[in-house]
């Protein structure tokens, strides 16, 4: 197998796995763990069939946001370059994102800011949009591509993810984007999950809530590594949605 074939195969498998997750989780998005278990446990297949499945920004984002690198190098691409690319590829309040309204949908809010000449990174900042809006999940979900573009180059993956995440997000919203991109970059050579997470953690702001939560879960895993149900119960108790602001906190 050539290096190109290996890269192609692994990125394809990773992308396919994510899209399977999108398709599987779509019907129960925003449900709590107990609600899912009450209605569907055990889950052995897709929960519903779709004759058509709508475009989803979880999958669209990584594909289209990477277009900016057709015109810029790793070293010279700027946050505003990425913001301009977003405006070029995202149609006017049609498809792509969840257009849930200003101050509710993080991406919609940032997009409106950009359209009103509020440049990045202010467009996605906590100062401009509030902590609740700026720390929702999108910054993390859209960051796969930067890891794929910088395999085994975690510093570059982190830098690209930080720039793109800051167009729409801030604070932990940016940390999550960095974490996913760095994990994917490192996974080219690190195949042990715990080692991968621990290594990626070193690329984050160590004072962030995001980094503290990852370390908390690594510590929990040391005690209960053979009990995933206990881990899920711990997360639902300590870190469920009701502990955080916004509709879909990171």
pLDDT band at 78 (very low <50, low <70, confident <90, very high): very high
Neighbouring CB atoms inside 10 A of 63's CB total 13
* Lowest mean pLDDT segment, chosen from 37-41, 105-109, 133-137, 191-195: 37-41
- Asked if the model's pLDDT at residue 84 lies above 90, the reply is yes
- Asked if the model's pLDDT at residue 201 lies above 90, the reply is yes
Average pLDDT estimate for 185-208? 98
Q: What is the pLDDT of residue 76?
A: 96
Tokens 């997000």 locate to 169
Q: What is the residue extent of each domain of the chain? A: 54-243
DSSP code per residue over 47-87: SS--SS----HHHHHHHHHGGGGGTS-TTT--HHHHHHHHH
Q: What is the pLDDT of residue 188?
A: 96
Q: What value does the mean pLDDT of the chain take?
A: 94
Contact 172, 245 (CB under 8 A): no
Q: What is the pLDDT of residue 38?
A: 92
Write the pLDDT tens digit of every residue in 224-235. 999 999 999 999
Average pLDDT estimate for 205-231? 96
Q: What is the pLDDT of residue 138?
A: 87
Q: What is the pLDDT of residue 13?
A: 96
For the chain, give the number of residues.
250
Report the distance separating Cα 160 and Cα 250, nearest Å.
Answer: 19
Q: What is the pLDDT of residue 29?
A: 86
Q: What are the counts of helices (DSSP H) followed by strands (DSSP E) for the chain?
A: 14, 0
């Amino acid at each position: 197998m050539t290096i190109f074939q290996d890269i192609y195969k692994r990125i394809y498998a990773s992308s396919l796995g994510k899209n399977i997750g999108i398709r599987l989780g779509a019907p129960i998005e925003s449900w709590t763990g107990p609600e899912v278990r009450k209605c569907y446990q055990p889950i052995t297949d897709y929960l519903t069939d779709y004759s058509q499945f709508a475009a989803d920004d979880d999958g669209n984002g990584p594909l289209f946001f990477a277009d900016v690198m057709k015109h810029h190098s790793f070293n010279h691409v700027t946050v505003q370059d990425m913001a301009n690319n977003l405006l070029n590829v995202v149609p006017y309040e049609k498809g792509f994102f969840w257009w849930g309204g200003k101050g509710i949908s993080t991406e919609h809010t940032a997009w409106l800011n950009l359209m009103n000449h509020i440049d990045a990174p202010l467009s996605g900042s906590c100062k401009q949009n509030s902590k609740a809006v700026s720390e929702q999940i999108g910054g993390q979900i859209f960051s796969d591509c930067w890891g794929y573009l910088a395999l085994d180059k975690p510093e570059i993956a982190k830098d690209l993810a930080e720039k793109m995440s800051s167009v729409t997000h801030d604070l932990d919203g940016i940390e999550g984007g960095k974490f996913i991109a760095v994990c994917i970059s490192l996974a080219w050579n690190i195949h042990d999950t715990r080692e991968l997470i621990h290594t990626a953690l070193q690329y984050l702001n160590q004072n962030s809530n995001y980094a503290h939560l990852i370390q908390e879960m690594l510590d929990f895993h040391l005690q209960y590594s053979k009990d995933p149900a206990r881990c899920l119960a711990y997360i639902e108790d300590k870190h469920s949605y009701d502990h955080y602001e916004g509709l879909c906190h990171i």
